[in-house]
Chains A and B, each alone.
Chain A
């Protein structure tokens, strides 16, 4: 079953986190994980645990900020939000991604046309 799910493309987890935070605003870790699972319709084979080292990396780079807050149930949780630097990074990566995807899809089209 796991074999049918696609592995997370290298580096795309960072992008997904940034995009999630950019779209939905500040979230805690579990919410980010759920959101990514929902969007990918459970097709991604990631452990939710791998999210945390990735969050740390983004934080170290200054792309996201953290603060402790109380959840709706009163539990102490860490809330992540995207910073301005993070937004800038996201824009750049989005453009790159679209460009790369465009090139690749043209390739696939091309190889279909040729014998």
Chain B
């Protein structure tokens, strides 16, 4: 420690200490000479003897200084300063190198941070790796809900699952005191807290008996507690209105509690127990017993499910159980996309590394002479290699710093854009990320600094000194390496460009798809009606009041409600029996989307009736039941015939008498968003709603459609107020322009396209810089040769052709390799494409042309300079 401090102090007194040493050595020599003279030597002889006894003055000073300071650090500092000087002289090449590396590092680390959060970091529950989701399976649905009786049997018979709970995600209206608030939450059995290993922040959970308490109990989320109740601990023991029903608050959930993972949870109430095996409405969540694997548990539950199938064939035929690790489930929507993006980002990093390697290599070749001269002057081989490596590490560190900043922005951007579409945790800038960035930078710095360093290491002193512009023998291997790097770089770039090209084209295709409604000037909102409206007449009354109230908003053209809001991915389906048609499969009927709509619905949506008529005032609760179908339905059920007047009925209609007469055909709408073709669709007027009594306590959902004249966004507040005029306790969800719903539905492909497109653009810029750099270097290297050619009568055109041929040959090789790579990777990307195949020839061609054009320009510019070489100057290269 003490010597270290002494060295540290010495750093700041360098000049003074140096002078002292010289002084001391001079004194030593003087004393020695005086001694020798005193013993009778001549002054010259005395001086010679003194010097010989002392040894080398310079070596002494050198050894002294090394001991005085930090020799390794100092020589590195020297190298860095030397480098800074050269960079200041010609900043282009190092700037490109740093920038490309920084972009690569930034992209890779920001994607990596998302990957880490989603795929690697465990969910925020104790021993989260033992949590499994328990789904029922049926021949048509691999992940179905289950009935309460089936769930109870699983619970009773399982040994491999330590605890299992049933839950159902739901939306609730919280009313009383202030504006009504829609919240997301869970209905669950009491075991949920045991399974997840979660205890409330304050208060308690409920037990088996309280699942049926006369006054239902509730736990509220930490966020809701703070937001609505001012974090008042006195909330415990009071009652709140949930869906109009008094609930006793018994606890507050811990902050940040989210279940299912990343879905905000503001309320937990007991799940109702329905004594049926055919009503699936809950999902299971379980904790594996200690020492039990997922596969063993799956086997056990398979056996349990088979026993249930045998015991209750009417309800359980074909029903099984499927266990999925919760961690996997939480990330599965984005897993493939993330891995593809990570791979793409890694490609960008690779391209960046190849480019830096190329630039450092080219500079190394250009500096052969300088390095050789320095070796001849006594610089150690080790010292020169260290210098080269120091340079590339310094480059890499600057790139890492820049890359970290980019990664910081990138991960914030990524988490924001992904969160639009997927339930996601917050992705924050982490130290891991910074470490990863630095590690990547160092590795790439070392890798790209290695070839020129090796070159110095290998080359003998003589070789290097002998080599001048005319002898090209040394460095051939390195140039071959440079060519290889360029080919690899262009190949990877072409792969990225083709991937991005496919995604862009696919996205354009997607945006060109007509969804079938005019979404420009419309607002939509979702309402979850309270229990008071469970009764059919009351609901109709409320709907009428709601429509009247909203219709009074100035500037509004049409308003309607319906039950199946479009573009949200879900949607209700029904099974129909069509008169005159056999059911395609016994027990299955004809499936179609089913929407119960109010009077002006087709006007409000902007869906034109193509045949027959709209619903009219004459269609009342007592008049003959009518329906309107879409074109796809008409085409499928009655091909070539006029569907008007045909009849159909709900397959599960008990009395089998409620026939619906088709009175009109409406244009196809892509109800499930642009990604999916239109499905058959049936519309019935709300005054003839076949669902007179709603099943169970499920709150009926309604969607509001408002056609606006002006900008829809400007009318949001007025529409909201109008809804509250009709019922001041009615929460409104997702009140937003319909365009936005559609835009958000396409968020996933848009994000993939934008990211891959960005990566491809970065890659193209990097590769262009690399191609340009290599071409320019080749021209500098071949100056004399080209000068001789010019002097011997070659035309500038021939010189350009010569240089171009070499460069473009490499680019061509790279492009071909890239095409082959893209074909090999077609399968990976095809899952993200819409409307085109992964081997779309026009895209491949367009990318090739774009790349060829860019590569040509990047090669041509240096070639033109080559043609302008003055032969006279070229000979005097040195």
Q: Are A60 and B54 in contact (CB-based, < 8 A)?
A: no
Give the Cβ gap from A30 to chain B, nearest Cβ, in Å: 4
B636: A residues at CB distance < 8 A? none
Q: How many angstroms between the C-alpha atoms of A71 and B35 in the bound complex?
A: 14
Give the Cβ gap from A103 to chain B, nearest Cβ, in Å: 30
Give the Cβ gap from A88 to chain B, nearest Cβ, in Å: 14
A30: B residues at CB distance < 8 A? 27-28, 31-32
Residue of B nearest to A78 (CB): B24
Q: Are B30 and A50 in contact (CB-based, < 8 A)?
A: no
Residue of A nearest to B58 (CB): A49
CB of B34 within 8 Å of the partner chain? yes
Residue from the list A47, A59, A60, A75 in contact with B27, Cβ < 8 A? A75
Give the Cβ gap from A78 to chain B, nearest Cβ, in Å: 5
B375: A residues at CB distance < 8 A? none
Q: Are A28 and B27 in contact (CB-based, < 8 A)?
A: yes
Given A28-B27, A48-B55, A52-B60: A57 in contact with B20 (beta carbons within 8 A) = no
CB of A16 within 8 Å of the partner chain? no
Q: Are A57 and B27 in contact (CB-based, < 8 A)?
A: no
Q: How many angstroms between the C-alpha atoms of A77 and B32 in the bound complex?
A: 13
The 8 A CB mask of A79-97 against B (1 = contact, 0 = none) is: 0000000000000000000
| CB neighbors of B among A1-47 (8 A) | 28-31, 33-34, 47
B57: A residues at CB distance < 8 A? 49
Give the Cβ gap from A94 to chain B, nearest Cβ, in Å: 22
CB of A73 within 8 Å of the partner chain? yes
B53: A residues at CB distance < 8 A? 33, 47-48
Q: Are B59 and A49 in contact (CB-based, < 8 A)?
A: yes
B21, B23, B54: residue with the most chain A Cβ atoms closer than 10 Å: B54
Q: Are B34 and A60 in contact (CB-based, < 8 A)?
A: no
Give the Cβ gap from B687 to chain A, nearest Cβ, in Å: 99
Q: Are A53 and B67 in contact (CB-based, < 8 A)?
A: yes
The number of A-B residue pairs with CB atoms under 8 Å apart is 74
B89: A residues at CB distance < 8 A? none
CB of B7 within 8 Å of the partner chain? yes
Q: Are B24 and A49 in contact (CB-based, < 8 A)?
A: no
Q: How many angstroms between the C-alpha atoms of A49 and B34 in the bound complex?
A: 17
Q: Are A53 and B60 in contact (CB-based, < 8 A)?
A: yes
Give the Cβ gap from A82 to chain B, nearest Cβ, in Å: 16
Residue of A nearest to B66 (CB): A53
Q: How many angstroms between the C-alpha atoms of A74 and B95 in the bound complex?
A: 59
Q: Are A76 and B27 in contact (CB-based, < 8 A)?
A: yes
A73: B residues at CB distance < 8 A? 34
Q: Are B25 and A62 in contact (CB-based, < 8 A)?
A: no
Q: Are B25 and A52 in contact (CB-based, < 8 A)?
A: yes
| CB neighbors of A among B29-72 (8 A) | 30-32, 34-35, 53-57, 59-60, 63-64, 66-68
B3, B27, B32: residue with the most chain A Cβ atoms closer than 10 Å: B27
| CB neighbors of B among A50-78 (8 A) | 50, 52-53, 56-57, 59-62, 71, 73, 75-78
Q: Are B54 and A59 in contact (CB-based, < 8 A)?
A: no
Q: Are A61 and B59 in contact (CB-based, < 8 A)?
A: no
The 8 A CB mask of B600-635 against A (1 = contact, 0 = none) is: 000000000000000000000000000000000000
A57: B residues at CB distance < 8 A? 3, 67
B30: A residues at CB distance < 8 A? 75
Residue of A nearest to B60 (CB): A49
Q: Are B55 and A47 in contact (CB-based, < 8 A)?
A: yes
Q: How many angstroms between the C-alpha atoms of A48 and B2 in the bound complex?
A: 26
Q: How many angstroms between the C-alpha atoms of A76 and B57 in the bound complex?
A: 19
Given A53-B63, A56-B67: A61 in contact with B24 (beta carbons within 8 A) = no
Q: Are A47 and B54 in contact (CB-based, < 8 A)?
A: yes
Q: How many angstroms between the C-alpha atoms of A74 and B688 in the bound complex?
A: 123
Q: Are B24 and A77 in contact (CB-based, < 8 A)?
A: yes
Q: Are B21 and A52 in contact (CB-based, < 8 A)?
A: yes
Q: How many angstroms between the C-alpha atoms of A96 and B21 in the bound complex?
A: 33
Residue from the list A48, A56, A71, A78 in contact with B64, Cβ < 8 A? A56
Given contact pairs A30-B31, A50-B63, enumerate 14 new A-B contacts (beta carbons under 8 Å): A28-B28, A30-B27, A47-B56, A48-B28, A49-B25, A49-B54, A53-B60, A56-B67, A60-B7, A62-B2, A76-B27, A77-B24, A77-B27, A77-B31
10 closest pairs, A vs B, by CB?
A47-B55, A49-B60, A49-B55, A60-B3, A60-B6, A30-B31, A53-B63, A30-B28, A48-B54, A77-B27
The chain A residues found within 8 Å of chain B, CB to CB, are 28-31, 33-34, 47-50, 52-53, 56-57, 59-62, 71, 73, 75-78
The chain B residues found within 8 Å of chain A, CB to CB, are 2-3, 6-7, 20-21, 23-25, 27-28, 30-32, 34-35, 53-57, 59-60, 63-64, 66-68
Could you show 18 A-B contacts with beta carbons less than 8 Å apart?
Answer: A30-B27, A30-B28, A30-B32, A33-B28, A33-B53, A48-B55, A49-B54, A49-B60, A52-B21, A52-B24, A53-B63, A53-B64, A53-B66, A57-B3, A59-B6, A60-B2, A61-B3, A62-B2
